[in-house]
Copies of this chain bind each other. A is one copy, B any other.
Amino acid sequence: MSRSVFGNYFIVSTWGESHGRGIGAVVDGCPAGLSLSPEDIQRYLDRRRPGQSRYTTARKEGDQVEILSGVFEGRTTGTPISLLVPNLDQRSRDYGNIAYSYRPGHADYTFDQKYGFRDYRGGGRSSGRETIGRVAAGAIAAKILGELGIEFTTYTKSIGPVSIETLDRKEISNNPFYMPDAQAAKKAGEYLESCMAEHDSAGGIIECRINGVPAGLGDPVFGKLDAMLAQAVMSIGAVKAVEIGEGIQAASLKGSDDNDGFSVVNGTVTKTSNHAGGIMGGISDGSEIVLRAAVKPTSSISQPQQTITQDHENITLVVKGRHDPVIVPRAVVVVESMCAITLVDALLSNMSSRMDHIRSFYKK
């Protein structure tokens, strides 16, 4: 399945443009009997809401989710859950040269090449607002995982050149960057101030740690859990790299440093290290899953940039309006959502992998 549909068992279909009627998602294959309220979803959406600090856009989006189907008397029914977040700002306006020219770093040119024309209002389908559908669906996935004791710690690992040096979980929600290191957050703020002064933008790295994942999720070969996570996370707009465990560093390690040994401690299987990031041969091993995503700097900057119009004239473009100097903090919950959706898909798939499990399920 490709395009705007993701997953084989927990199937998420998203839709909507930046300045259309709204953004939505349909979740098909959600198990019946899950307690679910709009608040469960709203809590996730609020984590990606702009206007939370001076480092994110001042636009008031105030995205409110409505559940249109699939929930009856507070519980999921097993049928498709339709989620709608109306766009508050659908005013027609003057999009000026945006309508006719190709913004560097954006998908304007490629959409025109593929489709022959494009919805140029605010980026259309390639707007960051597209991620609302992912987060709405991800909140449902995370709720399922939560009931099984699977928990996420997702945070900003770096902004521009500023990296965290500690991992203080309690600090994550204390700063506008979702960094688990108060000192790094302070420096990141200073770095962003300098970017803003230069009409420039920054990128960063998001790290997602998932605990409580049972061993056995994921399939050999193409359906490896890390492969599905890679698709899921790389499909987020500005992500340019995905790493599992040691990630790119693994390439320069020696086997004796990278291999994780096993040990039985007090009757429990443990690993002596976790360079693999919780996935071996594409299947979860029961230890912490560790994934990182590299996010490029915000494409919209208010510096003059060289580009062309759709009529192939060379121009200098200045993108107006206020834009997030960094999108990393808002993308933290998007990465978490995509990981949650992927994990639920693997979780449901895995239930039928053994004949003894099938027998005991059906012959009770």
Contact = CB atoms under 8 A, between A and B. Distances in A.
A58 interface: no
A42 interface: no
B215 A110 contact: yes
Contacts of A56: none
A193 interface: no
B105 A221 contact: no
Would you call the interface of chain A mostly helix, strand, loop, or mixed? Answer: mixed
Interface stretch (A46-54, A166-174, A176-184, A306-314): A306-314
Nearest to A83: B15
A21 interface: yes
A138 interface: no
A198 B257 CA distance: 12
Nearest to A215: B113
B355 A147 contact: yes
Nearest to A323: B255
Given A8-B8, A15-B70, A283-B107, A261 B113 contact: no
Given A29-B3, A106-B281, A247 B254 contact: no
Contacts of A358: 31, 144, 148, 347-348, 351
Given A234-B230, A261-B306, A8 B2 contact: yes
A75 B126 CA distance: 17
Interface in A234-273: 234-235, 237, 240-264, 267, 269, 272
Nearest to A2: B223
A329 interface: no
Given A246-B240, A261-B307, A227 B216 contact: no
Interface residues of A, number: 169
Q: How many copies does the complex hold?
A: 4
Contact of A219 (B3, B218, B263, B272): B3
A48 to B, nearest CB: 16
Contacts of A277: 240
Contact of A14 (B104, B149, B221): B221
Interface in A175-224: 195, 198, 200-205, 214-216, 218-224
A15 B81 contact: yes
A11 B22 contact: no
A98 interface: no
Contacts of A230: 227, 230-231, 233-234, 242
The 9 residue pairs across chains A and B that have the minimum distance between CB atoms: A107-B281, A2-B223, A201-B255, A231-B231, A227-B235, A110-B283, A15-B80, A32-B115, A348-B352
6 contacts: A1-B8, A2-B219, A2-B349, A240-B243, A262-B306, A263-B314
